[in-house]
Structure formats: structure tokens, C-alpha cells
Structure 1
Amino acid sequence: MKRLYDNELIYGRLLTVSQPHLIERYNKALAAFGLPPTKLESFDIDKTGFSPQIASELGDADYLDPNGVNRRFIILTPAQATLPVVHTWFSNTDALMFEFFNANTRAINALTIKDVIFGEIEDNVSRVEDIEDLLSIEQVEFRVLSAEDVLGKAAELRVLVDRLTNEPNAWRDDAMLEHMVDLAKVAGDIRENTLVPEQVVFRHDAFWTSHFGGCYVFVDDRMTTVIGNPEAPGFRRSRPWQVSYLSIADTGRVFRFLAETGRLDPPRASWLEGSGFLEHRAEMAIRGLLREAEPDADLNRIDPVWLQTWMHRHAAMIASDGTYPFLETAKREIAQSGQIDMARLPERFRFQLARAKPGHKDAWLTNRLISEYVPGDFVSRYVFNKQGFYADYAAYPDAFRHHVVEMLKTTYLKDKAGFRKRLYGL
């Protein structure tokens, strides 16, 4: 993974913490979680405060996620709001943290001037042991604490200010006034600073979780749909009148579900011809066959002439796999008629033409699910399904790993927003 780290393809865009006072605050949060302090003089953190270096130091990648549920967080600075989440059991951790930062900007800005904010994203389960545990999580609450108890002191000061305002003789209580001064030294002027987060409860909607080998939950008005391994505890057992269960291995049914619920963008010329989507999928298909045929080849020497020659020499292999010929046929049909009838296509190829409907609230999650069925498209896997990409990458031959990194650098990393907009409309 060092090659990925050196090229910021894993643990990229994190915030470096090296100031002694911030490290001290981080250690106070660790102590509150019952964890030993870090001895590092510098480390990086993500939006939740997770640090890969501290995880390595502790020998525990789940030190902020001990049971894979009720995620802990450590906030040192408002700047964390723009960072990614690089380690989580739930795909919507990032969105929930974003909502918390967005809803409580003033409080976070004020509190982090003097203190560290930490706590847990609590729901109503302490452990996930079967599918029903996942389905019972409908909302989460941020339980927010601070090391110097600025929150508690601000609340106490608020009560004393109200007493001073409403009780005629309260101003004669010298001990109370002195205590108010001491509290104000910590909490500041609470008339100007909003120190208590205003919104701490948020909906827990559609998500992917790494529990049970990977499981997707989609929420619609009248039905919740679970897509995962049928061997998962509780699969097809919990609330069958409210929950639909689809095996992730049933490509046809999963595709129909996404299409019928309006989560897919139908393959039409209006977006396919200008996006380069089909060309990208075809290129990924050929590179996958190259890896299979010549695992140790230096693929960075590829140019159009070399590639065309290779394809002619391996025409039987390409025809047997079928992906590239299918995409070329689809490209011609869309050019002629402007669309393609998905119902008559082989199920194993349908996801080659699929992307999430860009305006749908579940677009990112849907694209992640689609990537499960197009694992050879390592660029899109990296964009939407990093856990899947890292597992794939670990199994690649070293020469192909180098090729993957170079291609990600020249395609996605070169212009992330442009790539997502062009191919996926996001």
C-alpha cells in the first residue's frame, strides 16, 4: 500500500496535527475513550478525527469504531469539515459528520478555540449481530462532550446569568459573581458565542456497511430493500412485509430494483455520446484482459498502435470474454437509435451501461453498488468504492499496481470533479 500512500491514493487530503496544544487536546479525548495517549509528535486526521498513524501506533484500526457501530469522533478544528472520512464501517458516516458540522458551525467554531470536542454518533444498538440490528437504526444522535467541560460550564453560566437577571438581590451574592467570572474565563461571553450545538439528531437513511461481508440498505416510502449475502444472520427473516431482500449475487433482480425505483440513468445518447462513458468501460475491459494475459507486462508503454496489435493477436480471448464486443455493439446501436433496450441485453452486461441518476439522493450509493458488478473498472471502483478497490489492489501483480496508480493519477486525480461530472454527471 506504500505506493498508494505516496501518491495520496489512500489517506489523502488529511489534516496534519503537529501543534503541541492540539496534540494535548487529542490525548484528552483519547483518555476519555479509555485509550492511551499518543507519543507521536505529528499525525494526520480525517473528518472524524481518525488518524492512520495513531491506528498503527495502537495496533487498532477501529480505535474510534470499537464495535463497528456508534462511531466515535474527535474534533480539533472546524477545518475538519472539508476532510474525507477514510475509515468507517458505514458509508453515510461522512454525510452525518457533514450535517453535524453544517448545522452547528458557530458552536464548533467557538468551542474549538479553547477545547476539543469529542463523543459518539449514538443509535439504538450497541452491537450489530444480524440484519434486524441494521434495520432498527432510523436516526442517530451526536453525544457531544468537551475535555475542559466548556459545554457544562457554559450551561452553568447561562443559569447564573438568568438568575442575576431575574432575581432582584442576586447581584449581592459575591460568591456567585466570582464563580461567574471563573466560568466566563473558560466559556467566554455566552451572549456572543454559541457554545452548545443546536442540532444533534439526524436521519440514518440509505447506506452501505461492511458488516456481514458488505450489505446495502435502500429506503423508499413503503419498502426498505436489503442487498447482501443471503447467508447473513437475519437475511429474509426480519419484517418481510416491510423489507425486501435481494441477494447481491442476483444481478438481474438487483438491476431491476435500481431501474424500477428510478435510481438508474437510462443509457441514452443524450449523455453517453458526450461523456466518454462507453469508451472508458471498453478501455477498462481491455486493460483487465491485458492483466489476465500478461500479469507482469509493463502496461505503461501502451499506445494506440501497440494496443491495436495486441487486440488482433488476442481476438479469441476478447471474443470469449465478450465485454468489449458488447460495448462496441451498444455504442453503434445508441449512435443509430439514440437508446438501447436494456430488457433484451444479457444480465451480466447490463451494469456495463449503468450509472446512477445524477439527481437522485442515493446517487453515490447506487454508483458504489454498480461498481460491485464492474470490478474491472478500477477507476470507478476507486471513486465510489474504495474498500472494494483496496481489496482488488492487494491482489494485483506488482506491475499492474504500478499501472493502476499511474492511470488514476492521469485520469481521476488530475481533475476529480471534472471526471465525476463527465462520466457520472455528479
Structure 2
Amino acid sequence: MKRLIQHGLMFGGLFEVASPALIERYNRALEHLTGKRTTLDHFHIDLSGFSPEVGDELDDMDYLNPGGCNRQIILLSTRQREAPLLEMKFSTSAQIIRDFIARNEAQLFTLTARDAVAGELQNSVYSVADPAHLLDIRTVTVEADTTTGVVRDAAKLDTLIRRFREEEDAWWDDVLVSKMIGLAQATGDVTRAPVTFETASFQQDDFWTAHHGGVYVFRSVGSKAVLANRPFPAPGIEVIDLSMRNVVATFLQMNNLVQPIVEGRGVAAADILREKLEHLAIDALGHAGHLPDAVSDRALRRAMQVHAAVLPPEVHALGAMLAWAEGRGAWPRIDSANPAYFHTLRAAPGPLRDLTNMLLAELAPQDFRQLHICHKPLFYARYAASPDTLKTWVAERLATDYAADRDGVWAHLYASDVTHPVPKVQKRVKGPWG
């Protein structure tokens, strides 16, 4: 993974923890949640407070997510919302944490100036050993407080203030007044600066989970279904095997979840098809051991010519579509029986866009750029198992074709109206381990 880290394609954009004050706050929260502490004097944390360096030190990459069901969080700053979420088990976790930070930004800004905020994303289940239990997940609630319990104490103080105002002889209740003063010393004036979090409960109708080989749950669509790599019995809902391509394609079309990735001729459409074709060729040549050592467009074209026999049918199908986009050929018929079918689709606009793009990336994993953008867990797993030369090509191509302008590439590939090609300028971002 060293190449990805060097190019800022892995562990990039994390929040740096280097000052003694932040490290001590992190350790207080870590001990509060897990009973453990770190001896590191410099590390990085993600959106949830997970640190790959601390996980490496503790020899436990799930130290904030035991069981992979109810993720714990450590917030040192509201700026963590700009960081990615690592070791993702549920596709909705990142947005839930960002929404929680956005809803409570003022309170979190005040509280994290003095202490860490620790908490948990609480599902309605505590174990998913049985895959059918995934369907019992309906809501996720964020519960959080400082390590010293300021939010808890503020709630107590608020209750006592109401008693003081409503009870007729409260002025003479020395015990009540003493409790109020003691709590106020820890919480401040909660009447002027409330120390409470907006209750953050999130409906979980649609999500992906890494459990049980990867499962997609779609419950807000007209034809509800679960799509799984390892199908399992589930009462009241259809379970589709992801290997049944025709059935998956029918489900996506029936629920209007997808659209063609190119809908007309032109330079932008041709660029998308050419790039996807090259990515598929790189993947095939790399696994066949025919990629040249030097990463260049000319070397790739030469390898594709010399080793055309190892190129998969998907490359030829996309080549025919590219010829049509450039006005050099007829429109090719590519249906769900064609191995290139899912390479020709992207998610339709709407609330299920990201989940659908994630599913499409898994159905067409040879396009490593789409996989990196839409399904990072699967990308990292495939990358780790790739030949060394292929790793070099993938890292270099992502650095020049994606990391240079992430937002521009996303719009180029997935926006409803693509109008311009993507700039190719290399940019590196430092992260953990340099």
C-alpha cells in the first residue's frame, strides 16, 4: 500500500494529532471507551477518530469498532468532518457522523476546546452474526458526551433549574442550590449557552455493509430487495445473488436506479469510454503479466497491440461504443448478457445515487478508478492482491487521472451533463507514515 500512501490515495486528508494537549484528550477518550491508551507522540485520525497508527500500535484495527456493528467515535475537532472514514463497515456511517457534527457544530466547537467528545453510533442490533439480523437495523442514533460528562451534567443542571423556577420555596432549598452551583462550575451557564446535542437518529432503509461478504439493502424503492455475494434466507424481502447478472440488471432498471454513462456522441463521452477502456486493459494486462515497467500511454498502447489476445470481451465492447461516440461506427447493442454491460451504467440522480454507484463498481471491478472512487474497501482488497507491476500502474494512473482534481473527475464521470475533460496534474498529499 506504500504507493497509494505516497500519492495521497490512502490515508490522505486525515486530521493530524501532534500537540501534547490533543494527544492527552485523545487518550482520555480512548481509555474511556476501550480502557487502552496510546504511547505515540504523533498520529492521524479519521472522521470517527480512528487512527491507523494507533490501530497498528495496539495490533487491533477494530479498536473503535468491536464486532463491526456499533462504531465508537472520538472527536477532537469539528475539522474532522473533512477527513475520510477508514475501515468502513456500513456505507451510511460517514454521512451520519458528518450530519451529527453539522447539527451540533457550535456545541462541539466549545466542548472540544477543553476535552474530547466520545460516543457511539448505536444500531438497533448489537450483533450481525446471523445475516438476517442486518434487516433488523432500522435506525442509528448518535450518543456522545465529553470524557468528564459535561453533556450529562448539563442535562441534570437544566432539570434542577426548572425545579428552582417552578417550586415555590426553592430559594430556601440549600441542597438544591448547592447542587446547581456544583454542576454549573463544570458546565457553565446552560441558560445562556446550552450544552446539549440535538438528538441524531437516522433512518436506515438503504445501506451497504461489509459483513457476510458484502450486502446491499434497498428498502425505500418500489421493488425492495437485498443483493448479496452470499445469499441468505430473509423473511418478507427478495434476496438476489450478485452473480445473477440478469436479475440484478432487472432490479436496477425496474427501480430506475441507473442510466447510461454516456447518452450522446461527443468529446466528453468519448473521453469517458476511452479512459474506462484503458483501465480495463491495464487490469487485464497486469494480471496476465504483460504490463511494461514504464508507465506511459504509448507503452500501454503498444502492450495492447502486442498482447491483444489477453484483452477481455469488455474491452472490445467498450471499443465499439467508443467508435460510435467518435462517429466511426454503428451503435453496439450491449445488454445484461454482455460482460461490459455494468461498465456502461452509472447511478441515476437521487438519494440512492452513492449506494447504486457502489454496487455498480462492485459489479464492474476491473475499472480500478471507479472502484477507488465508489467502493474503497473492495478497491483496497483487490489492490493488495494485485501483481506488483499492476500496483505501480494503478497508483500512477490514479495520481494523475483522479487525485489531481477529485471533484472534477467525479463530475466528469457521474454528473448528469458532462461538458469537459479532466485535467491531469499530479498532486501528492502527505499522510500517516510519510
Q: TM-score, normalised by structure 1?
A: 0.89
Query: Residue 347 of structure 1 aligns to a residue in which SS?
Result: coil
Change (3 A) 1:313 1:419: same
Change (3 A) 1:394 1:380: same
- Structure 2 residue aligned with 1:384: 374
**Distance in 2 (alpha carbons) for counterparts of 1:35 and 1:134:** 29
Question: What's the offset of the Cα at 1:26?
Answer: 1.9
- Structure 2 residue aligned with 1:409: 399
Query: Residue 67 of structure 2 aligns to a residue in which SS?
Result: coil
**Distance in 2 (alpha carbons) for counterparts of 1:135 and 1:79:** 33
Between 1 and 2, higher relative CO (CA 8 Å, sep ≥ 6) is seen in 2
**Distance in 2 (alpha carbons) for counterparts of 1:171 and 1:115:** 33
For 1:382, give the aligned amino acid.
H
Superposition map of 1:21-420 within 5 A: 21-174=21-174, 176-230=176-230, 232=231, 235=232, 237-239=233-235, 242-270=236-264, 274-275=268-269, 276-295=271-290, 297-300=292-295, 302-304=296-298, 306-318=299-311, 321-333=312-324, 342-343=334-335, 346-357=337-348, 359-420=349-410
Moved more, 147-156 or 18-27: 18-27
Q: Deviations over 1:186-229 (max 9, x none)?
A: 21121232311122211113211111111111123454311113
Change (3 A) 1:155 1:279: same
Asked if the contact 1:225–1:244 (Cα under 8 Å) also holds between the matched residues in 2, the reply is yes
Question: What's the offset of the Cα at 1:311?
Answer: 3.2
Asked if the contact 2:317–2:334 (Cα under 8 Å) also holds between the matched residues in 1, the reply is no
Q: Deviations over 1:124-146 (max 9, x none)?
A: 21110222210110111222232
Question: What's the offset of the Cα at 1:61?
Answer: 0.6
Q: TM-score, normalised by structure 2?
A: 0.88
Question: What's the offset of the Cα at 1:386?
Answer: 1.1
**Distance in 1 (alpha carbons) for counterparts of 2:33 and 2:266:** 50
For 1:24, give the aligned amino acid.
E
**Distance in 1 (alpha carbons) for counterparts of 2:145 and 2:353:** 34
- Structure 2 residue aligned with 1:19: 19
**Distance in 2 (alpha carbons) for counterparts of 1:122 and 1:68:** 11
Change (3 A) 1:346 1:333: farther
**Distance in 1 (alpha carbons) for counterparts of 2:221 and 2:342:** 25
Change (3 A) 1:211 1:121: same
For 1:395, give the aligned amino acid.
A
Query: Residue 74 of structure 1 aligns to a residue in which SS?
Result: strand
Determine what percentage of the aligned residue pairs are the same residue. Answer: 32
RMSD value, Cα: 2.4
For 2:181, give the aligned amino acid.
V
**Distance in 1 (alpha carbons) for counterparts of 2:245 and 2:266:** 22
Question: What's the offset of the Cα at 1:407?
Answer: 1.1
Whose helix fraction is larger, Structure 1's or Structure 2's?
Answer: 1
Asked if the contact 1:103–1:199 (Cα under 8 Å) also holds between the matched residues in 2, the reply is no
Asked if the contact 2:48–2:72 (Cα under 8 Å) also holds between the matched residues in 1, the reply is yes
**Distance in 2 (alpha carbons) for counterparts of 1:360 and 1:405:** 31
Change (3 A) 1:104 1:271: farther
Question: What's the offset of the Cα at 1:261?
Answer: 0.9
Gapped regions of structure 1 (runs ≥ 5):
none
Change (3 A) 1:155 1:316: closer
Question: What's the offset of the Cα at 1:176?
Answer: 4.2
**Distance in 2 (alpha carbons) for counterparts of 1:391 and 1:114:** 39
Q: Deviations over 1:21-42 (max 9, x none)?
A: 3222222222222331111112
